[in-house]
Amino acid sequence: LSLYSFSSTKSIKMAIPVIDMKSIDGADREAIMAKIAKGCETPGFFQLINHGIDHGLLDRVKLVCAQQYNINREQSFKDSLPVRALNKAIAAEAEGNKVDKIENMDWEDVFQVHEMHDTNSWPSEPKHFKETIEEFRSQIFALTEKLLEIISVNLGLEKGYVKEAFAGGDKPFFGTKVSHYPPCPRPDLIKGIRPHTDAGGLILLYQDDEVPGLQVLDNGRWIDVQPLRYSIVVNTGDQLEAVSNGKYKSAWHRILPTKNGNRLSVASFYNPS
């Protein structure tokens, strides 16, 4: 499918499934597992609440990520190619020229974290950024492996099957991407992130609870992934679709830029090694 085949696809306000994990180890386990299976099948996206990740930690992640962007990332984003391209288009339009939508760039600032991240690669400011993100990654990793055990059982496999398949005799690749989508003066001229599927296995996202923008394609319609405080968004990637023989869907999704607010997204990817 072409990225551009979605240009005329309608966008509507609907909700992806919200699943309460509170009783996953209790009497409601089978019902919750069934909801997770359904979320993986269609639309391939769902949100978790009462997932066990400390809310205070999530507040700290949001704080240190905002501080880190303001201290270390904001100026480089203002100097980046997408910003310069958009400013050039706005100036050309002001002079009476017809301008096309910028199709080959994303309105996104990215900071990557993974197991091999060298200590010197961490920013010295803000204070506690490294330990906060590492604590968050530890809790997200544990939740991801819990979900993969549920997914394995839902697929009729041994509990550890998907984890072992992704580990490949060693360990899976587990990376975290801290993204910001700063206010965009002309959201009609550029995308936050172009429509895509995720190449990996299972993706867990802690997204901004105030600034919307994430949408998933479901039956030809773009559905908003509604901001929900302290929730974790889960989506299945290409590799999990393959492991499930197509039963679980790797859904197309995108980010829309917005004029108001600097949107935060912290996505963790559990991928085959």
| CATH code of the domain in which 77 resides | 2.60.120.330
Q: Which domain holds residue 108?
A: 36-93+102-271
Spell out the SS3 assignment of 37-94: HHHHHCCCEEEEECCCCCHHHHHHHHHHHHHHHHHHHHHHHHCCHHHHHHHHHHHHHH
> Is 14 within the bounds of a domain?
no
> Is 131 within the bounds of a domain?
yes
> Is 249 within the bounds of a domain?
yes
Look at residue 120 in the predicted model and tell me its pLDDT.
67
> Is 144 within the bounds of a domain?
yes
> Is 162 within the bounds of a domain?
yes
> Is 31 within the bounds of a domain?
no
> Is 173 within the bounds of a domain?
yes
The neighbour count for residue 88, using CB atoms within 10 Å, is 12
> Is 149 within the bounds of a domain?
yes
Nearest to 58 by CA among 234, 228, 257: 228
pLDDT in tens, the chain (273 residues): 434 344 445 555 568 999 999 999 999 999 999 999 999 999 999 999 999 999 999 999 999 999 999 999 999 999 999 999 999 999 999 999 999 999 999 999 999 987 655 666 788 899 899 999 999 999 999 999 999 999 999 999 999 999 999 988 788 999 999 999 999 999 999 999 999 999 999 999 999 999 999 999 999 999 999 999 999 999 999 999 999 999 999 999 999 999 999 999 999 999 998
Domain count along the chain: 1
The neighbour count for residue 120, using CB atoms within 10 Å, is 6
Retrieve residue 80's tokens.
């980046």
